Amino acid sequence: MFRRMTRERYLSDAELEALMSVARGRRHVHQPRDHALLALLANTGIRPAEARALTRGDVHPNAKTPWIRLRRVKKGHAASPVNELPIHPAVAKVLARYVATLESRRSAKLFPFTPRQSARLFHYYAKKAGLPGHHRIYALRHTVGMRLWRHTGDVRMIQGIMGHVRLKASSAYVHIGPERMRDAQSKLGTIQ
């Protein structure tokens, strides 16, 4: 059944900025790790389980075009065959700063969390940022999907970046708002 993407399932731009501001500014020994995890989730749309599966060898923040190697998973099962995902240089800088603090083994887990620990970490930062209590860590993935739709309007791009096997999953992010309708009508022109 098709479910419309509701407001409770993604963060507004202001909420996302508040969350990231708290993650950037926290003075704690785990700040680089926490900031790296939240920045990665908020800017790539990968699933929290995919982030937890990353090892040091999967992250290439200093490459000419920064990228990460993913093991796409969905509820414990392999999903789409996409293995490499480019990352924004600003996110790569945050990851590089965190990776520099890790041990040198390439097989070392980047984010050694259980699902519950990563959810609690998100709730901690969400509370500090003043976000409503109904958001979950998966909201970061949905936020990326909504932002991709707003900025590209390309459902196939959403499918590729989010790692959806079926296009129907990507269409949950498609919302046709009034501004989008006005833009489409203005491109048509008038016939009199």
Q: What is the pLDDT of residue 134?
A: 82
Q: What is the mean pLDDT of the segment spanning 35-49?
A: 95
Residues 87-139: tens digit of each pLDDT: 999 999 999 999 988 877 777 899 999 999 999 999 999 999 999 878 899 99
Average pLDDT of the chain, as a whole number: 85
The percentage of the chain sitting over the pLDDT mark of 90, rounded to a whole number, equals: 51
Residues 148-178: tens digit of each pLDDT: 988 888 888 888 888 888 888 888 888 766 6
Q: What is the pLDDT of residue 180?
A: 67
- Which domains does the chain carry? 10-143 (1.10.443.10)
Place 190 in a pLDDT band, splitting at 50, 70 and 90.
Answer: low
3-state secondary structure the chain: CCCCCCHHHCCCHHHHHHHHHHHHHCCCCCHHHHHHHHHHHHHHCCCHHHHHHCEHHHEECCCCCCEEECCCEECCEECCCCCEEECCHHHHHHHHHHHCCCCCCCCCECCCCCHHHHHHHHHHHHHHCCCCCCCCCCHHHHHHHHHHHHHHCCHHHHHHHHCCCCHHHHHHHCCCCHHHHHHHHHHHCCCC
Q: What is the pLDDT of residue 4?
A: 52
